[in-house]
Amino acid sequence: MGLGGCILLIAVGAILTFATDWEMDGLNVTVAGVIMMAVGLIGVAVFTSIARRRRTVPPVAQTTVVEPDQQPRGY
C-alpha cells in the first residue's frame, strides 16, 4: 500500500467517524472509522521510514591515485 492508499484510509476513516450518523446492527461505524484512521497513520509512518532509508546515498568508493613520480621503479 502506497502513500496514497494510506491517505485514503485516513480520509475515509475521518468521514466515517466525524461526518456520518449511520447506525448498523453489529457494526459501530465510529469505531470502524477510528480503526481505519489508525491503520492509515501506521501506514504513513512505515512508508516514510522506508522511503527515508531508500534516499540515503551510499558513501562514494575511494579510489587510489598514483602520481607519476611515485610509480615503482625497477623497469
Examine the pLDDT at 65 and tell me if it is beyond 90.
no
Q: What is the pTM of this model?
A: 0.67
Residue corresponding to grid cell 491517505: 7
pLDDT category, 55, cuts 50, 70, 90?
Answer: low
Confirm whether 72 is domain-assigned.
no
Confirm whether 73 is domain-assigned.
no
Confirm whether 42 is domain-assigned.
yes
Examine the pLDDT at 16 and tell me if it is beyond 70.
yes
3-state secondary structure the chain: CCHHHHHHHHHHHHHHHHCCCCCECCECHHHHHHHHHHHHHHHHHHHHHHHHHHHCCCCCCCCCCCCHHHCCCCC
Confirm whether 15 is domain-assigned.
yes
Report the number of distinct structural domains present in the chain.
Answer: 1
Confirm whether 71 is domain-assigned.
no
Range(s) of the domain holding residue 18: 3-55
What is the model's pLDDT at position 60? 75
Confirm whether 39 is domain-assigned.
yes
Confirm whether 49 is domain-assigned.
yes
Confirm whether 65 is domain-assigned.
no
